[in-house]
Amino acid sequence: PRLVFSGIQPTGIPHLGNYFGALVNWVKLQSTAAPADKLFFSIVGWHALTLPQDPKLLSESRTTMVALILASGIDSQRSIIFHQDQVQNHTELAWILSCMTPIGKLKRMTTWKTRLAVSRNANDESEVDDSLLNAGLFTYPILQAADILAYRATHVPVGEDQQQHLELTRDLAETFNRTYPNPTPLFQLPELILTPSKRVLSLRDPSSKMSKSAIDPNSRILLTDSYETIVKRIRSAVTDSIAGITFDPVERPGTSNLLTILSACTGEAPAALAERYAGSNHGTLKKDVVEAVEETLRKPRTEFARLCEDKTFLAQVARDGAEKAQEHSDRTLKQVRKRVGLS
C-alpha cells in the first residue's frame, strides 16, 4: 500500500496556484487511492514561521486552512488532515536528521540561494550576506524531510520547486539507513509525484509565480474571491501588445499564463486552447478565463462559507487528524530513538 504525504503552509487563503498545484492533486490522489492506501495532508505551521507572521493572522489561517482543504474536496473520513505543529515528532526527527545533514548540502538548495539573492539585492551589496537571514530558512528542508519520514511516506506529491527538497529527503533516509542498518533499513525512499499542472504565474508580474505573500493582492486569485473580484483581477492581468493569442511562455508569459489558468480549469491543453483563440484578442480570452475560474471556484467557495459556520466540526477534524498522525509517527520515532541510542 502507498502512504501519501503532502503539506501546505497556513500563510493565508490559497490561490489558484496552490489550488491547481496542490489541492486538486490531493483530491485526485484521494479518489484514485486503493483501500489500503493512507493519505496524510498536513498544515505546516512550523514552516510558516520561517517568515515573519502576525500571530493572530497565523492562528486564523490555521483554522481557515482546515476548512479550505475540506472545501476543496478532501474527505476527513478518508484522508488525515492535521496540524504539523500538534505532532512534536516532526521537530524531534528534524533535530536528529539535522545532526546528519552536511551544511554544504543545505547551501546548495535553490530555495536558499534564491533567498540569498533576494536579500543581496535588497541590501545592494556585492557580497552575499547571510548573516541576517534566520537559521530556519536555511534548515527548513530538513524539517520537510522529517515531515515526510516521520510517516515513512512512500509517495509525496509536490511541485517542481520542491523536487530538490525531496532529493534531500531521500538522501537523509539513505544516510539514516546506512548509519543505523539494524535489524533492517528503517526508511523506504519516498517517491516524488510531480504535479502535472503548470506553475501559475503572478497576474501583475508574470516573471514570478503566483504567491500568497506577494504584496500586490491583484497579483493572485484566492479560492474565496467573489465573481466581481475575479473579473477585476483577470481584467487587470498583465499581458502584451502582440495581436492574437499564442502559447509562448518565454516571449508571452502573461498571455500564456491566462491560457495555463484556462487549461487548468477546463482540462484542455494550453496549445489547443491557443489554436482556438488564435484570432481572438486579449479581451475575449480574459472574459472566458473569468467564466472558467468562476465555474471552478464556485463550489469550493460555497462549501468554505458553509464550513466556516461550523467551528466545532473544524476543531474536531483537526483533533482527530492530530491523534492519528501522532499514533502513526510514534511508531517511526520509537524506532528512531532506539536506533540512535536515545530510548
Among candidates 289, 260, 286, 223, which has minimal Cα distance to 16?
Answer: 223
Nearest to 200 by CA among 162, 256, 282: 256
Binding mask 201-230 for ligand AQP (x = CB under 6 A): --------xxxxx-----------------
DSSP 153-201: -SEEEE-GGGHHHHHHHHHHHHHHHHHS-SSS-SPPPPEEEE--SPPPB
CB of 174 to ligand AQP, least distance (A): 23
Number of residues binding to ligand AQP, judged by CB under 6 A: 18
Q: Which of 8, 39, 43, 318 binds ligand AQP (CB under 6 A)?
A: 8
Cα separation, 202 vs 214, in Å, equals: 9
Q: Tell me which stretch binds ligand AQP (CB under 6 A): 4-12, 82-90, 297-305, 311-319.
A: 4-12
The grid cell for 266 is 477546463
* Sheet strands (E) in the chain: 3-8, 38-43, 80-83, 155-158, 191-194
Tell me if the bond preceding 196 is cis, omega within 30° of 0: no
Closest-CA residue to 307 (of 75, 44, 39) = 75
When asked if residue 162 is in the footprint of ligand AQP (CB under 6 A), the reply is: yes
- Residue 8: CB minimum distance to ligand AQP, A: 4
Question: Can you tell me the distance from the alpha carbon of 219 to that of 201, in angstroms, rounded to the nearest whole number?
Answer: 9
**Region binding ligand AQP by CB under 6 A among candidate stretches 115-123, 141-149, 157-165, 334-342:** 157-165
For position 18 contacting ligand AQP by CB under 6 A, the verdict is yes
Q: Which stretch binds ligand AQP (CB under 6 A): 8-16, 90-98, 113-121, 312-320?
A: 8-16
The nearest distance, CB 188 to ligand AQP, in angstroms, is 22
The residue whose grid cell reads 474527505 is 75
- Does the protein bind ligand AQP through residue 161 (CB under 6 A)? yes
> Applying CB under 6 A, which part among 9-17, 144-152, 171-179, 222-230 lies near ligand AQP?
9-17
- C-alpha closest to that of 139 among 173, 107, 187: 107
Distance CA 15, CA 230 (A): 12
Please identify, among the stretches 138-146, 159-167, 185-193, 306-314, the one whose residues bind ligand AQP according to the rule CB under 6 A.
Answer: 159-167
| 9 is a contact residue toward ligand AQP (CB under 6 A) | yes
Closest distance between ligand AQP and the C-beta of residue 241, in Å? 25
175 vs 197, beta carbon nearer ligand AQP: 197
* Contacts to ligand AQP by CB under 6 A: 8-9, 11, 17-18, 21-22, 158-159, 161-162, 199-200, 209-213
